Copies of this chain bind each other. A is one copy, B any other.
Amino acid sequence: MTAIRGARERARSEITAAIKDEARRQLAAEGAAKLSLRAVARELGMASSALYRYFPSRDDLLTALIVDAYNAVGEAAEAARDAVTGPDAKRPVARWSAVCAAVRTWALAHPHEYALIYGSPVPGYTAPRTTAGPASRVGLALIGVVRDAHAAGALKEPAEPLPDAVVGEALALGAELGVELPGAVLTRLVGAWAQLFGLVSFEVFGQFNGVIAARTEFFEQAVHQLARSVGLAAPR
C-alpha cells in the first residue's frame, strides 16, 4: 500500500501488526470485554506503556480491529460473489445466496469479531468515521448483484405502492452510489440488507437455541425469500 521508508517505519508497522494480531487472538478467545492492553503487552514481552506509542487508547485498538473485521466480512462477501461460476453465474439468485452464505459462514467462524461490528457498539456509542467505508462493503456487494441482474433485464420489479419519502430517499441513495435501480428495489434492498444481519445475528448470538436446529437449510430458505423480495426471482 504505502512505501516503507526506513527501518523505523518498517519496525513500527510490524509491531502494530503484531499488536493487532495478539489482540485479535485474545478477542477470539475471550471476547471484546476481556481484551486487555496489559495482557497484549505481556504476551508480546513489552511494557504496557510502550503499547500506547502505537494505539493512543484501548478504544483505538478496538476501532482498528473493527475496521479489519468489516474488511474481512466484506472481502468474504465479494470473493463469494465473484466465485460463482459455470451456469450459476447467470443466475442472480445464486450469486445473491452465495454472498449471504459467505457472510453467515464468516460470522459463525469469527463470532466475537462479528459481535464487535454487528453487536453492541462498544466504544463511545458512535462509530468513528473511518469505519463507514469498510462497513458498507457487504451492502455494496448485495447491490452489485442486483444491479447486474437489472442490467441483464432479469429483475422483476415489485409493483407495489411505497411511501414517497422512502422511494425518494432510495433514489437519492442510488444516485449517490452511482447505481441505476428502481426506487422500490433499492428500498427493498436496504431492508434485505438489514434483515440478512438479523438472521445471522440471531444465529450467532444464540437466539435460535432450542428453536431451530436445521439452521443452514433455514437460512438458505430465508435468504431465497429475501432475494425474491428484491426482485431476483419470481414472487409466489
Contacts and interface: CB of A to CB of B under 8 A. Distances in A.
B163 A217 contact: yes
Contacts of A118: 201, 205
A177 to B, nearest CB: 10
Given A132-B210, A195-B195, A214-B165, A221 B187 contact: yes
A94 B135 CA distance: 34
A3 interface: no
Nearest to A124: B31
How many identical subunits does the complex contain? 2
Contacts of A201: 118, 194, 197-198, 201
A88 interface: no
Interface residues of A, number: 56
A7 interface: no
A218 B33 contact: no
Interface of A: 31-33, 111, 115-116, 118-122, 125-127, 132, 135, 158-160, 162-163, 165-166, 169, 173, 187-188, 190-191, 193-199, 201-202, 205-208, 210-214, 217-218, 220-222, 225, 229, 235-236
14 contacts: A160-B236, A163-B221, A166-B214, A169-B212, A169-B218, A187-B218, A190-B218, A191-B221, A193-B202, A195-B195, A195-B198, A197-B201, A225-B229, A229-B229
